Structure 1
Amino acid sequence: MTAKTAPLPLLHPAVILSTWFWSGLSPKAPGTVGSLAALPFGILIFHYAGAPALVLSSLAIFCIGWWSTKIYVARTGREDPGEVVIDEVAGIWLALAAADLSLLMILLTFLLFRFLDIVKPWPIGWLDKKVKGAFGVMIDDYVAGLIAFVLLIIIKGVYYGNF
């Protein structure tokens, strides 16, 4: 637990970004709501700029999330606040870069990423427990996105007969 200072106003950039435009303030399943709120942006980036741009965007969001979460955690005094969902944004965008834009693949990306984020198999769970601070908040979801990325490539290869 870190020391709490003055609370952040809802319009503070760290709040807006960390909660992904307040989607993480949902009273139920903020990680799921944040992931859903991230999908339209990721789909638009993928559609107009391609998968490489989406990977770069996920890296940019990871860095922005690290910054905004560091401020949010310091000001709230909480290690891993549930309303911080920018980590889900970075992770699901990375996973989505391995999909295609069919409804089936988008749904599969969402379900696979959320499964990995919730269940936290190794190394995701290890990172969640061992890596602290804003980087710790971000890295476990990014690795969940990376694992989902690899699994989606395998699934696509099997489905389309490329393996």
Structure 2
Amino acid sequence: MLEKYSSSNPAYRLRPGFRFAFSAPSHAIALFFGAGCLRPGPGTWGSLAAALVFLFFETLIPASLLWVPGVLAFLIGVWAAGRTGDDLGVQDAGAIVIDEVAAVWLLLAVIPPGLLTAAAGFAAFRVFDIIKLPPASIVDRKLHTGFGVMLDDLFAALWAWAALWAIARLTGLALV
């Protein structure tokens, strides 16, 4: 299950730098303006950057429209992740983090606003993004396109939401 993160996997070993990140619009988007260049754990850095940007969105965008940036990031991310993966020669390189960004934004859009719920959403998403429960694991293994890169993280966000929902029901915390 975790072979994706094996040191022998080229998707994990490939480490584009900031020069690459800003060499084309698709690269800047796919690497979320350099967040994907940070080590270790570019997916975690990309998710953290997404959560911080989302907290800023909460101050600007009406709650009823907070889902829009996530949908736009998903749609643009399909193109950017596919193009950047082609340019890198590895479809789901670890540095491509727009999938984490779109998924985190969509997850945070459907839970109550605030720093604590954002932190819970971030943590839950990272767990499910790493363990890749089905159907995320199936998409991750079989669909090697920009759409596949984006889709497996969307499933991880759904699992994260389900976990937050269950925790909220068991504890009475306002997580969803």
Give the TM bin, normalised by the shorter chain.
0.7 to 0.9
Shift of 1:9: 6.6
Give the aligned CA root-mean-square deviation in angstroms.
Answer: 2.3
Identity of aligned residues (%): 33
Identify the residue that residue 11 of structure 1 maps to in structure 2. Answer: 23
What is the TM-score normalised by the length of structure 1? 0.85
Secondary structure, aligned partner of 2:32: coil
Secondary structure, aligned partner of 2:46: helix
Identify the residue that residue 32 of structure 2 maps to in structure 1. Answer: 20
Identify the residue that residue 4 of structure 1 maps to in structure 2. Answer: none
Q: Structure 2 regions of 5+ residues with no counterpart?
A: 1-9, 11-18
Query: 1:31 aligned to 2:43?
Result: yes
Identify the residue that residue 161 of structure 2 maps to in structure 1. Answer: 149
Q: Distance in 2 between matches of 1:126 and 1:9?
A: 28
Q: 1:54 to 1:63 in 2, by over 3 A?
A: same
Shift of 1:68: 0.9
Shift of 1:128: 0.9
Secondary structure, aligned partner of 2:152: helix
Q: Distance in 1 between matches of 2:69 and 2:130?
A: 23
Q: Distance in 2 between matches of 1:9 and 1:40?
A: 20
Q: Distance in 2 between matches of 1:42 and 1:141?
A: 17
Question: 1:87 aligned to 74, 96, 99, which one?
Answer: 99
Shift of 1:18: 0.4
Instruction: Check whether the contact 1:35–1:88 (CA below 8 A) recurs between aligned residues.
Output: yes
Which one-letter code corresponds to 1:138 in the other structure? M
Q: Which runs of 4+ in 1 moved over 6 A?
A: none
Q: Distance in 1 between matches of 2:94 and 2:154?
A: 16
Which one-letter code corresponds to 1:76 in the other structure? L
Identify the residue that residue 133 of structure 2 maps to in structure 1. Answer: 121
Q: Distance in 1 between matches of 2:72 and 2:124?
A: 22
Q: 1:126 to 1:51 in 2, by over 3 A?
A: farther
Q: Structure 1 regions of 5+ residues with no counterpart?
A: 2-6
Q: 1:78 to 1:160 in 2, by over 3 A?
A: closer
**Once structures 1 and 2 are overlaid, which stretch shifts more, 145-154 or 77-86?**
145-154
Would you say how many aligned residue pairs link Structure 1 and Structure 2?
Answer: 156
Which one-letter code corresponds to 1:84 in the other structure? I
Secondary structure, aligned partner of 2:91: coil
Structure number with higher relative contact order (C-alpha < 8 Å, ≥ 6 residues apart): 1
Identify the residue that residue 106 of structure 1 maps to in structure 2. Answer: 118
Secondary structure, aligned partner of 2:92: coil
Query: 1:132 aligned to 2:144?
Result: yes
Q: Distance in 2 between matches of 1:143 and 1:62?
A: 12
Q: Distance in 1 between matches of 2:173 and 2:33?
A: 37
What is the TM-score normalised by the length of structure 2? 0.79
